[in-house]
Homo-oligomer: A and B are copies of this chain.
């Protein structure tokens, strides 16, 4: 057997991101202006995003150069290792070869900094002094805190109140990297104050936090806004994960039969899967299967409808063409906070519409079971989000344990700052949730279908 860990040299780190949009058979619908229902151009978004990112958002180029300044910061942890999960294989008794791409070695502990570094760079280049963003569980906020510090930008993070209180370590991490963090809703924005006036005890929500960060960015000349998933440019940035993984498989003379990732906003799954899908789309490879794993409590891909919907609860974003459970849907408080999103990235939604991958929904308890199994075998305690991918990979490996197929999944983050949720699992305090299809139908009835 080759080494457990397959490394790339710094020189082998990709020099371009992959943009799958021109390769999608049915193309990608544009976002719509909620007022006119007409396609929305970059000019309306220029108040909150730098032009370079808007260009990437609309780009029809298959390849986008990664600036040398971005690559330089990425070398702090990239290329990330591809690891053979041989101890997991033995623990579950399969002849499948299971590999994981480990993104938890980044400063924030997940794949999120791959985009945060790029976003901070482009903002800096266009003279922006300060970024505002929201964070739920804290992964994205930590990533942007690190990235902005690297490029000498200020950073303000609106962190959902309930997470702000429950996850003090995430807050401490953002402080360590030099960001300002407030609980959202906050007294710092008009929208935050209005929510607090109605309900001073509100736990907050991602929708509220997005609105506060958008207001912050729109109301200050020196400030722009940054988002950690869903948008096309974020997914482009995350393809560095899949591009590296392809090179790593080349080194050991293998190619995956099954590619697995968890699905929240979509950048985690698409970042790994996209570059492999490209081989299927151009005909150079056949038969690769792609599996997107989502929580049963937030079954956007398996029970949602494809429609034009808002990206946020407060209806401040453009209308995006995507699978959605309806923008009013507040997923139950599962511990995979990064997967609690009502919609799905337009790119991933288009992939599903074209049947390029198979979505599956898994329950909370089986994900934590898989996470514990993985931790005892492979040493790394996975983030609750990544437990979904672990669970999906195990299911694939056990469909026929004698089939020596090659499975790769995105171990997108470690769970060291989520250990409280593991403890709740051990104490029997966690439950499964399932979102009934009828509820989805009711919630999405009035959305403009695609």
Binding site for B on A (CB under 8 A): 3-5, 7, 9-11, 75-77, 87, 105-107, 109, 146, 149-150, 168-169, 171-173, 175-178, 372, 375-376, 378-381, 416-417, 419-420, 422-423, 426
- Secondary structure class of chain A's binding surface, majority of residues: helix
Q: A9-B3, A75-B4 are in contact. Are A172 and B422 (CB under 8 A)?
A: yes
Query: Are A420's CB and B76's CB within 8 A?
Result: no
Q: Looking across the interface, which residue of chain B has its beta carbon closest to that of A83?
A: B76
Query: Are B423's CB and A175's CB within 8 A?
Result: yes
Query: Are B177's CB and A375's CB within 8 A?
Result: yes
A376 to B381, CA, bound (A): 24
A324 to chain B, nearest CB (A): 34
Q: Looking across the interface, which residue of chain B has its beta carbon closest to that of A368?
A: B176
Query: Are B419's CB and A172's CB within 8 A?
Result: yes
A146 to B106, CA, bound (A): 23
Query: Are B175's CB and A422's CB within 8 A?
Result: yes
A146 to B372, CA, bound (A): 12
A422 to B176, CA, bound (A): 7
Query: Are B376's CB and A177's CB within 8 A?
Result: yes
| Residues in B neighbouring A177, C-beta threshold 8 A | 375-376
User: CB within 8 A of A172: which of B107, B169, B420?
Assistant: B420
Query: Are B169's CB and A381's CB within 8 A?
Result: no
14 pairs of residues in contact across A and B, judged by CB atoms under 8 Å? A4-B75, A5-B7, A105-B105, A107-B380, A146-B379, A169-B416, A169-B417, A169-B420, A172-B422, A175-B423, A176-B419, A176-B422, A177-B376, A178-B376
| Residues in B neighbouring A176, C-beta threshold 8 A | 372, 375-376, 381, 419, 422, 426
Q: A176-B381, A379-B107, A426-B175 are in contact. Are A417 and B420 (CB under 8 A)?
A: no
| Residues in B neighbouring A109, C-beta threshold 8 A | 416
| Residues in B neighbouring A5, C-beta threshold 8 A | 7, 10
Query: Are A76's CB and B379's CB within 8 A?
Result: yes
A380 to B419, CA, bound (A): 19
| Residues in B neighbouring A3, C-beta threshold 8 A | 9-11
